[in-house]
Amino acid sequence: MSTTTHAPHADRRTAPQFMAVMGHAVRDRLPVAGVAAVIVAGLAIMTGSLWPSLQETFADLPESLADTLDTVLAGADLTTPAGWMNAETLSAVAPMAAIAVAVISVVRAVAGEEQGKTLGVLLSAPVSRTTFVLAKAAAMVVHVAVVVVGLAVGLVAGSWVGDLGLSGSGVIGACVHLGVLGVFFGGVALLASAATGDRRLSSAISAGLAGLAFALSAFLPLSDALADGARISPWYYFSHTNPLATGIDVSDVLVLVVGAALMTGAAVVVHRRRDLRG
């Protein structure tokens, strides 16, 4: 009876704590996310503006070179507007920006609090460890969303400036796939931060795994015997269907969302059980 009676009061206390911790984390790293969004938007606009002057040059590329680029950088067919945008914006720069923002957001907010000796003060507020981890994860999602908005603005403006004719479904698909990729590696950083409490180590783990994922997705398809191995890479689910041309692939998005959710759940469990230093 007592558990049933007090649960609603606990919920009412938890919600303001969650929003307060999340709001503080969002404000702390919002400038970083904003800068990344501006860079991504600017690159997409510049890429679009260059297309009219370069499309004839790309039409003369040897077929073998075009095919290789398309394999290494999925969807980067330089003879098409969407492929050109993929090659210059979506193959590496935009996803790296989203991943970097996600990792910085989480690592500094979780491991950084512990190393900075401010975590104990925050948890005595009182804020539960579960609330703390989930609020930091939610702030990371907001930061990644800022980068995604920058990409959306850049793709629409770049398409208009360069007359690329990108479809609305393609723009939405590219933005959604970028967002879930960033959140996935944010989940990696969250779990690493919760497990180690070390900002540098967590950053190194997250960046290393992101680089490995890109390499596996880019180079394994070059071999017919190894091509299926690319499926172990999260990057594969971001790019292999060429969402800028084909739109959202629901199954690929779900793979990354479920992966991020599982890592967030594991981070909560690990953080609750570990002896904290802050």
Which has the minimum average pLDDT: 9-23, 161-175, 218-232? 9-23
Is residue 54 assigned to a domain? yes
Which has the minimum average pLDDT: 56-65, 96-105, 238-247, 266-275? 56-65
Classify the C-alpha dihedral 130-103-35-75 as positive or negative.
negative
Q: Rounded CA gap, 244 and 82, in Å?
A: 6
Q: Is residue 19 a contact partner of residue 80, using CB atoms and an 8 Å limit?
A: no
Classify the C-alpha dihedral 186-192-194-200 as positive or negative.
negative
Angle (nearest 5°) at CA 261 between 117 and 71: 110
Q: Which of 182, 161, 158 is nearest to 170 (CA)?
A: 158
Quick one: average pLDDT of 242-262? 96
Q: Rounded CA gap, 120 and 122, in Å?
A: 5
Helical H segments across the chain, by residue range: 2-59, 63-72, 81-85, 93-109, 111-115, 119-123, 129-162, 168-196, 199-219, 234-239, 243-246, 250-273
pLDDT tens by residue, 189-247: 999 999 988 889 999 999 999 999 999 988 888 787 888 888 999 999 998 899 999 99
Element at 118 (helix H, strand E) = none
Q: What is the mean pLDDT of the chain?
A: 85
Distance between first and last Cα of the chain? 36
How deeply is 71 buried, as exposed, middle or buried, from its count of CB atoms within 10 A (0-12, 13-18, 19+)? middle
Which has the minimum average pLDDT: 22-31, 145-154, 176-185? 22-31
Of the two residues 182 and 131, the one the predictor is more confident about is 182
Is residue 133 assigned to a domain? yes
Is residue 91 assigned to a domain? yes
How deeply is 119 buried, as exposed, middle or buried, from its count of CB atoms within 10 A (0-12, 13-18, 19+)? buried
Q: Which of 81-90, 225-234, 250-259 shows the highest mean pLDDT?
A: 250-259
pLDDT tens by residue, 110-137: 877 666 555 555 555 577 888 889 999 9
Q: Rounded CA gap, 139 and 22, in Å?
A: 5
Peptide bond into 126 cis (omega under 30): yes
* Domain residue limits at 183: 2-273
For residue 261, the model assigns a pLDDT of 97
Is residue 186 assigned to a domain? yes
- Structural domain tally of the chain? 1
Tokens standing for residue 217: 């997705």
Q: Is residue 171 a contact partner of residue 156, using CB atoms and an 8 Å limit?
A: yes
Is residue 278 assigned to a domain? no
**Residue 8 pLDDT exceeds 50:** no
The reported pTM is: 0.87
Give the side-chain half-sphere CA count within 13 A for 230: 25
